[in-house]
Structure 1
Amino acid sequence: MRNEDLPVIRRIRTDRDHVFAFAVVGRLTENALINLWGLLEAAYETHDEIDLLIRLTSYEGIDWTSAFSERMFELRSRSLRKVRRYAVVGGPLWIQASIALMKPFLSIDMRAFSTDEEEKAWEWLDAHPLQD
C-alpha cells in the first residue's frame, strides 16, 4: 500500500471508553477533516462528554480553505459542547501558541504537549493507548 493511500487520520485505541485519540499523519485536507469530524460525531452519540488526544508528530500542514469553511465551523461548534479535556501532542509551535491564546475563551480544558511529553498527555487524560 502506498503512503498516499493510508488515511491521514488514524484512530488510537485507548483503555478508557470516553477517551478518544487520533494520530494525524500527513496533510489535513478537507476529506481528512471530514473524516475526523465524522469519527468525533460518532463518539458524541454515545457519550455526554469525551476527552480527546490529537497526536501531530507526523503532521505536514493543513488545507486552510477547508479548515475555515462554513461546514467546519458548524462541526467545531458542536464539539465545544462535548469535549471536556483536549490534549494536543507535537505539531508546530504556532499550534501550541494558539491553544494558549484560545484557552481563556473556551470551556474545554486544553493543553499542548511537546512530542517528548506524550506520556504526560496520557497521564493528564488518565488513560493509556492500547497496542493494535
Structure 2
Amino acid sequence: MNFLDTVPAIRRLETSRDDLFAIDVVGHVSAADGENLFGLMEAAYALHPRIDVLVRLVDHDGVDWTHIADETLKQGAIHALEHVGRCATIGKPDWIADAQRFLPSSPPIEIRHFKAEDEAAAWQWLAAQPIGATASGALT
C-alpha cells in the first residue's frame, strides 16, 4: 500500500461562514492526519483571527496522539485558546472531557457536544449551514 491508497481522515467541509472551520473526522486519525489538521487550522487563523470550529465524527476509530509531535500538540492548544471562540462536536465519541484536559480550567472556548441526530442544532448554534456534499454524500 502506498500513500495514494489511503484517504485522509480529516476532510474540510464548506460552510456558509468564512470564519467557521468545519471538518469531518472519518475513521482512524493517523499522526500524519493530525499534523495536517494543525496546519489547516493555522491557515484558518491566518485568514481570520477568531474562528469557530465544527467537528463531525463519522465512524470515528481513534487518534494516534502518541505519534504526533509534543510541540505540535502544545502549539495547537495554545493557538486554539488564542483563536477559537466556539467549538461544536457532532457524533461519537463525546471527547469534550478529553479535550478539556489540555485546556485551562476556565477555557475561553465554548465547547458543546451534539449527538449525530442533533446535527442541525449544532449548525444552528454556530449560525451556519453546510454547503455541498454531506458525510453521507448527499448534496445540501
TM-score bin, normalised by smaller chain: 0.7 to 0.9
For the pair 1:53 / 2:57, whether they are aligned, the reply is no
The aligned counterpart of 1:36 is 37
Q: Deviations over 1:55-113 (max 9, x none)?
A: 112211111313572321122211210001100111224x1444677685210011011
Contact 1:113 1:121 in 2 (8 A): yes
Q: Distance in 2 between matches of 1:13 and 1:118?
A: 15
Contact 1:103 1:110 in 2 (8 A): no
- RMSD between aligned alpha carbons? 2.2
The aligned counterpart of 2:93 is 92
Give the number of the structure whose residues are more often strand, by fraction.
1
Residues 115/8 of structure 1: CA separation in 2 closer, same or farther (3 Å cut): same
Aligned residues: 129
Contact 1:99 1:112 in 2 (8 A): no
The aligned counterpart of 1:63 is 64
The aligned counterpart of 2:12 is 11
Q: Report percent identity of matched pairs.
A: 37
Contact 2:31 2:65 in 1 (8 A): no
Q: 2:67 is matched by which residue type in structure 1?
A: S
SS in 1 for 2:24: strand
Contact 2:38 2:72 in 1 (8 A): no
Q: 2:83 is matched by which residue type in structure 1?
A: K
Q: Distance in 2 between matches of 1:83 and 1:59?
A: 23
Give the number of the structure whose residues are more often helix, by fraction.
1
SS in 2 for 1:79: helix
Instruction: Give the TM-score normalised by the residue count of structure 2.
Output: 0.82
